[in-house]
Structure formats: C-alpha cells, structure tokens
Amino acid sequence: MEVTKKQIAIIGPGYPYRNGAALYLSHLCKKLSEAFEVTLVSYTSLYPNFLFPGKTQYDHSEKKVISYPNIRLIHSLNPISWFKTARYLNRLRPDLIAFDWWHPFFAFCHFGIIFFLDRKLKNKVIFITENVISHEAKKFDKALTLLALKRAKAFLALSGAVETHLNHLFKVPIFRSELPIYDIYKTDRFDRTVAMNKISINESDIVLLFFGLIRKYKGLDILLHAFAEICKKNKNLKLLIAGECYDDESIYLNLIKELSIEKEVIFENRFVENEEVKRYFGLCDVVVLPYRSATQSGVLNVAYGFQKPVIVTDVGELKSLVEENKTGIVVENATPSDIAAGIQRYLMLRVQHTNFAENISDYIRTKHRFAEVNKVFKEMISYLNKDN
C-alpha cells in the first residue's frame, strides 16, 4: 500500500525572481520533493521599484540553472492578495506552512496571510530564517520582525548565529539546517584561455575574487585597502570584483585610484547572469568575503560548489563553515591588516601545495548539513501534529 506523502507549502520568492532567497528555495523545494508533496507559493510583486536599489528584480539569464514550479499569488503590498493566498492555503490543507523570512519589509504581508488562515492552519506555521534582523537594519525593523515572527510555531534557522538570536526572542522550538552547496553553475565546458582574454588576466596571475551584490556591510572597501598592502609584497596578484553595486560606485572607483591599484583591479559593476558565473569562479584562485556582518553566505556556497577556497571574517556563522587552512582562512576582524594577513596565509598554503579542492569535497561529503533537511522537516511536522 502506497503511503501518502505529507504536504508542505513554502511561501517565498521563486523564478523569475533572481535573489538569494529564490535560489535557496528552488534548491529546498527540489530536495523536499524527494519525500513530500511541495507547493511553492510565490509573488506577483516583490519589492516596489522605488525601494529596490538594483536595475531589475528578475532573472534574465539565458540559462535557468535551477527553478521549481511556483504559483504566483502574493502582492507584497496588496491585502486582497494576502486573503487570496490564505484562501488557497486553506483549501490546500498542507501539513506545514513555511514562510521564508529574510527582510522586515515583508512583515505586514506575512502577518496578513497568517491572519486569514483558519485556526488549524495557524498552528502549522513555521518560519525559515536566513536572518532575523536585516544586515542594514532601520529604526523600525525589530518591531516589524517581531510582528511577523511571533506567529511562528517553530523556526528553521539556517545558521547557529540565527538560532542564538531566535532563542533570545522566542520560546518555541528551533530546528537547524543550512544553505545548500551551489554547484549548479559548474559545467565541463569552460575555456580558461578564452575567459582570461575577456577579463585581461594572465596565466601567471593569482586571482582573488569578490563576488555578489556590493553593499557596505560586505566590506569591499576593506578588501581594497588590504589588497593594496599585499600587492607591495607580492607580484602577479589580481583582484576581480564582479557584482552589482548597491552603493555609490564612485566610492570604490575613487578608492582604487587613490590606492594606485588600477592595473591590478578588474571591477565589473553588473549583475552576473547564470551562464557567466563559471567564468569568474573558474578564473579565480580564492574567494574573499571581507564582511563586516553576516549570518551565512550564498557566495561561500557557490565557491565551495567550484571547490574554491575562501578567506572570510569571523562574523556570524562563516567561521563554522570553514576548516582552517584546509577549505579556507578565517581572519579575526574585518580590518585591512587582518584581511591582508589572511591573503598572505593563503599564498603560503598555496606554495605548500595545500589541496583545497580535495579538502572542500571531503567537507561537503562529511559535514554539510543541507542533506539532512528532509529529516528535519519530518521532525517539524511531527512536532506540529503532536497536539492535533
């Protein structure tokens, strides 16, 4: 006799949105679908354009590296859509409803959907928390966060730092998982010579990569100062910066000029489409995350997907994701001197022929926690059903 699968509804952005949450949820839904019936309920409108600092919220890549079918019902600012979404969920009768939480802007939207759920389904609500309070929190962000998250019957925390934060705020069970390894961009078809010619990199160059959206908390300015210092002692270094700038681009361009590192820095201020990701990670030798603050990082998981080592600051959960001197380097502070010392240590390990790629493969195989996410969701469903 065939056992009926439990139903899970995930509330969050799906394709065609291009943000990190959409990427994570596509992976999550595909993994959960191995054991559950999974429905992804997405948005017809995410951020209003006047609140979005980039050029577009949508993925215009020629290649869809991963996506999961979704139902677009939610307008983040339209209460009528919140009611319609709740009505859809009331008819679906899932065993668990998981809201993906990453920004306080969605507090009213999430609160509204939960408000319109029937009584039994209100007891099936959990929140997947990538961050509790956003990295660039505004004055009312904590109040908005509490408004939405206080309706959760449990949480799925994607890092130990988030778990600790949640424990200070709420008295409900907290389950653990983490971001998946993003190996979807890696292909066998990569011509390094052609890629080098396009970006003006030589075969002898050692390439440091800063990748992803450029915001103050990510510390690109710190890395530029560190790189200028390390270039005095080491030849054939290049810093490749690839990502859309959400700050004023001139801040970084002027700093590059002031530090006299124009010849060593390649700055591509644009969103990198899916089919181009392999170019940057294929060319680089190490990925640098000089973050002032973080919980976890999708960029780190992309780096591991390409078996590239990382240099990270000791913020949030980043340290726990790095095996020191094996899969990368952890520096204590987000300062130019510490980042420079980390880069120098990487160069030393490189001379010693440290097999970073093999170490990263071992780490993913033996210690990465995303593979257990189906088990975690079964435990959450069991918990939510114990009193019903």
**pLDDT per residue as tens digits for the range 295-338:** 889 999 999 999 999 999 999 889 999 999 999 999 999 999 99
Q: Of 127, 143, 152, 108, which is closest to residue 21 (Cα–Cα)?
A: 127
DSSP 8-state symbol, 157: E
pLDDT at 50: 61
> Which residue's entry shows tokens 């810093």?
239
Return the structure tokens found at 242: 């690839």
> Which residue's entry shows tokens 């030798």?
285
Residue 2 pLDDT exceeds 90: no
Cα separation of 109 and 297, whole Å? 25
Return the structure tokens found at 279: 């170019």
Residue 388 pLDDT exceeds 70: no
**Does CATH place domain 192-367 in 3.50.50.60?**
no
Q: Of 354, 327, 373, 360, which is closest to residue 10 (Cα–Cα)?
A: 373
- Mean of the per-residue pLDDT values for the chain? 90
Q: Give Cα 227 to chain centroid, integer Å.
A: 25
Q: Are 82 and 52 in contact (CB under 8 A)?
A: no
Cα–Cα distance list, 388 to 3, 121, 365 (Å): 20, 11, 38
- Range with the lowest mean pLDDT among 69-78, 92-101, 247-256, 270-279? 270-279
pLDDT at 48: 76
Residue 362 pLDDT exceeds 70: yes
> Which residue's entry shows tokens 């009331």?
90
Cα–Cα distance list, 137 to 141, 253, 292 (Å): 6, 26, 14
Q: Are 98 and 376 in contact (CB under 8 A)?
A: no
Query: Where residue 200 falls among pLDDT bands split at 50, 70, 90?
Result: confident
Q: What are phi and psi of 11, to 5 degrees?
A: -110, 110
Q: Is the dihedral of CA 245, 246, 250, 252 positive or negative?
A: negative
DSSP 8-state symbol, 182: -
Cα separation of 151 and 124, whole Å? 10
Provide the edge-to-edge strand list for the sheet that holds 70-75: 70-75, 37-45, 7-11, 96-101, 125-129, 154-157, 174-176
pLDDT at 262: 94
**Does CATH place domain 7-178+369-385 in 3.40.50.1170?**
no
Residue 100 pLDDT exceeds 70: yes
- Taking each helix axis from N to C terminus, what angle separates 373-385 and 20-32, rounded to the nearest 10 degrees? 80
Q: Can you give the residue ranges of every domain in the chain?
A: 7-178+369-385, 192-367
How long, in residues, is the chain? 388
Distance from the first to the final alpha carbon of the chain: 25
Q: Note if the pTM is more than 0.85.
A: yes
> Which residue's entry shows tokens 């429905």?
39
Residue 47 pLDDT exceeds 90: no
Q: What is the mean pLDDT of residues 342-371?
A: 94
Beta bridge partners, 339, equal none
Q: Are 370 and 174 in contact (CB under 8 A)?
A: no
Q: What are phi and psi of 330, to 5 degrees?
A: -110, 125
pLDDT at 53: 64
224, containing H or E segment: helix 220-231
Q: What is the mean pLDDT of residues 111-129?
A: 96
Return the structure tokens found at 364: 């993913």
pLDDT in tens, 59-77: 767 666 778 999 999 999 9
The one-letter amino acid at 194: V
Query: Where residue 1 falls among pLDDT bands split at 50, 70, 90?
Result: very low
Return the structure tokens found at 265: 């820095």
Cα separation of 353 and 306, whole Å? 18
Domains 7-178+369-385 and 192-367 fall in the same CATH topology: yes
pLDDT at 317: 85
pLDDT at 3: 62
- Give residues with Cβ within 8 angstroms of 337, minimum separation 6: 226, 229
